[in-house]
Amino acid sequence: MQKIKLFDTTLRDGEQSPGVNLNLQEKLEIAKQLERLGIDIIEAGFPASSKGDFQSVKEIASIVKNSSVTGLARSVTKDIDIAWEALKESAEPRLHVFIATSEIHMQHKLKKTPDEVLETAVEMVKYASEKFPVVQWSAEDACRTDLPFLARIVEAVIDAGAKVVNIPDTVGFITPGDYQSVFNYLKEHVSNIHKVDLSAHCHDDLGLAVANSMAAIEAGATQIEGTINGIGERAGNAALEEVALALHVRQDFYQASTGLILPEIKRTSDIISKLTGMNIAPNKAIVGKNAFAHESGIHQDGVLKNPLTYEIISPELVGVKQNPIVLGKHSGRHAFRTRLVELGFTLEDTEANVLFEKFKDLADKKKDITDDDLLALVIQKQVSKESEYKLESLQVQYGTNNIPTATITLRKENGEEIQEAATGSGSVEAIYNTLQRCVEQDVKLLDYRIQSINGGPDALAEVFVKVESEGTEASGRGVAFDVLESSAKAYLNAINRLIAIQQHRTKQEVM
């Protein structure tokens, strides 16, 4: 049985999704969950791109021990040096270095000849190999690269010390049969190809990312790159949970498997969805809410008699609990803490105590508290750490014959209290107009989404917003029983993130 390594780029390629910006704590939570999921390699970011990315890669590399942590670098010594500083303390320092190899990229982006590109690739792999025990080299836009040149440069970088060679479908252009042909050509024309792991990195522009990844496995790839939920630039990347389940269910065909802890899939998917603000489509394979739902009477009858009639995957296999554990107002601190640990959260005593008080407040209003509620509580606690402004009070006046008016009191980090009021065509607009007055910043609302956590009249409301100010975008989320309160929290969270981003950029410009 062939072992397929999974290379997760949720924190690098996934975070490049438009509108997604994760803070350090959120990245750490995702990294720890990816480690629990059993991911082989976690691409934690692009260290040279910013000081924030450098710090997050360094932090992740220091805490993750059971997965290899890597960072991306361009084929320049400065990028490689910065990546080494970020990754040198990790359990297995690993570098992912790339250079474009297609004619259109070499001519218009790099403005280099093929020979110059080959020389740079070899020089940078040799340089990186002096520091990193494992160097992965990627041919950007490999699938539109002239195959004889691709074979020549692959052979050269292997001789230079590359341990993994990645053949990415950077623009989501190739089809499964053609992708297999690329791998087969390299195996036939690269004499030292047996010395490396061959990796596939597919984008989903034509909806073929997972199909192409599976085709690469058939052609001999031993590593698949992608993201959880398939997030990423443009249409996204191959969804790793789909690749893993395809290999698990169809072992008879692929004769390959991964080391993924399958029952951790749903929890990982939910955490990433909530922290990125990217909702999962109901019909999304493996993790969508309809993935195990049956409405047709014929299907329902068959499943009741024998689930195998219409379910090739059991919900429990991927961590979907049919009868989730619930806590209530009589649950104690120990039961609460134990459940958080079971959900994969490691909290300091002070953090756990604060969350327990919030849990008890919630339990007074809601009879049964499920895992989804607990997940929302923890995530809300994490995102509220960026708090230049804190919501002290909110009052909204609304009537069918009156103009909606909101009165809000905020407290700044320095203790200063701010109170403002404003009107709007609706209650949410009145709240947002008031918050803009409070922070004295022109903020444009780009996206507003609301959903309930679980069902029933006592369900928590979760609001996600995306805002823009002075060319900077930020997202925010808020959770509360009341829709208006959660809307205010989400907007304020986005404003706090905007301020944090702007302050960080100002510091960089000064330095």
Where are the domains positioned within the chain?
2-276, 297-383, 389-509
Confidence of residue 452 (pLDDT cuts 50, 70, 90): confident
- What is the CATH class of 2-276? alpha beta
78-134 per-position pLDDT tens digit:
999 999 999 999 999 999 999 999 999 999 999 999 999 999 999 999 999 999 999
Cα–Cα distances (Å) from 427 to 265, 461, 488, 499, in that order, read 38, 16, 10, 25
Fold type of domain 389-509: Double Stranded RNA Binding Domain (3.30.160)
The answer to whether 165 and 137 have CB atoms below 8 angstroms apart is: yes
Confidence of residue 506 (pLDDT cuts 50, 70, 90): low
Angle value at C-alpha 352, between 347 and 353, nearest 5 degrees: 155
Distance of CA 216 to the CA centre of its chain: 23
Is the pLDDT score of 370 beyond 80?
no
Torsion, Cα of 110, 115, 120, 121 (10° steps) = 100
Residue 266's nearest CA partner among 381, 375, 368, 380 is 375
Confidence of residue 371 (pLDDT cuts 50, 70, 90): confident
Task: Look over the chain and give the mean of its residue pLDDT values, rounded to a whole number.
Answer: 89
Joined tokens for residue 13:
């390629």
Residues tagged in the binding site annotation: 13, 201, 203, 237
Residue 12's nearest CA partner among 51, 55, 57, 75 is 57
Is the pLDDT score of 205 beyond 90?
yes
The answer to whether 196 and 220 have CB atoms below 8 angstroms apart is: no
CATH number attached to the domain at 297-383: 1.10.238
Cα–Cα distances (Å) from 401 to 298, 397, 494, in that order, read 51, 11, 32
Mapped onto helix, strand or coil, the DSSP state of residue 75 is coil
Number of other CB atoms surrounding residue 188 within 10 Å = 10
CB-based burial, 272-303: b 16+ in 10 Å, e otherwise: bbbbbbbebeeebebbeeebbebeeeeeeebb
Residues tagged in the binding site annotation for Mn(2+): 13, 201, 203, 237
CB-based burial, 62-76: b 16+ in 10 Å, e otherwise: eebeebbbbbbbbbe
Does the pTM surpass 0.75? The reply is: yes
